[in-house]
Structure 1
Amino acid sequence: MAIVGLDHVQLAMPKGGEDAARGFYSEVLGLAEVAKPVDLAKRGGCWFEGGEAHIHLGVEDPFSPARKAHPALLVDDLAALRLKLANAGVTFTEGSPLDGYDRGDVSDPFGNRIELMQRL
């Protein structure tokens, strides 16, 4: 028996936050929305993917954002993404140094922490 990979990361969102999630994850980060299976779609939320990154947002009530636990998304051009984030009004916070990476954090519309990393 061995773990062979990571299928997805689940983040919480408040009820009715799908449009805000689409605006951030699709329009700002550039992830594609994928249809949820019919049985799961009844619960609300939405799924996104880009490359091998799969982010699932599910409705949680009461909602509480993940401020410490987070996904770390690899990007190919952090400088260009930072400009896009700034133009969208999203604050980027520089990450502390980590050998081999340029990195920093943003918050999604719900306050969930998202780390963005570019391999150097």
Structure 2
Amino acid sequence: MILRLDHVQLAIPPGAEDACRRFYVDLLGMEEVEKPASLAARGGLWLRAGDAAVHLGVEADFRPARKAHPGFVVADPDALAAALAQAGHEPSWDDALPGIRRFYVADPCGNRLEFLSSGITPPA
């Protein structure tokens, strides 16, 4: 029934768009995608990198996702972790999965993100 995952949505507080642009676009290299006019007035951002799409939606009663998280496969986790740390976003490494290099980091709003060397879900 399900064909693929279209996007992941994370909540952000009102007014956090610029801080999120600096993090997701400038630091992570994602591309901001123009939201449809019918949704643009709600605020937030739509972002894409390769097949990964993230929607950041404004939530008035915002609470960061500290356990739930998207996981992004990246080419060089060590280089990304170093760039994030240099920008003030300290990675937390996790070696619980043998053979997979991965870490967690919080976005500017406190949402948890995972970055890993390869997918942990076996291919179909």
State the secondary structure of the residue aligned to 2:79.
Answer: helix
Normalising by structure 2, report the TM-score. Answer: 0.92
Q: How many residues align?
A: 119
* 2:96 corresponds to: 97
State the secondary structure of the residue aligned to 1:89.
Answer: coil
Ranges of 4+ aligned residues in structure 1 off by more than 3 Å: none
1:74 aligns with 2:73: yes
Q: CA deviation at 1:80?
A: 1.1
* 2:64 corresponds to: 65
* 1:119 corresponds to: 118
Q: CA deviation at 1:33?
A: 0.7
CA contact (8 A) 1:26 1:33 kept: yes
* 1:83 corresponds to: 82
State the secondary structure of the residue aligned to 1:119.
Answer: coil
Whole-angstrom distance in 2 between the partners of 1:101 and 1:8? 24
Q: CA deviation at 1:50?
A: 0.3
Whole-angstrom distance in 2 between the partners of 1:14 and 1:113? 15
Q: CA deviation at 1:99?
A: 3.0
- Structure 2 spans left out of the alignment, 5+ residues: 120-124
Deviations 1:93-118 (A, max 9, x none): 00132134110100000000000111
CA contact (8 A) 1:100 1:119 kept: no
* Range with bigger deviation, 93-102 or 37-46: 93-102
Opposite residue 48 of structure 1, the aligned amino acid is: L
State the secondary structure of the residue aligned to 2:66.
Answer: coil
Opposite residue 73 of structure 1, the aligned amino acid is: F
Opposite residue 101 of structure 2, the aligned amino acid is: D
* 2:122 corresponds to: none
Identity of aligned residues (%): 51
CA contact (8 A) 1:71 1:115 kept: yes
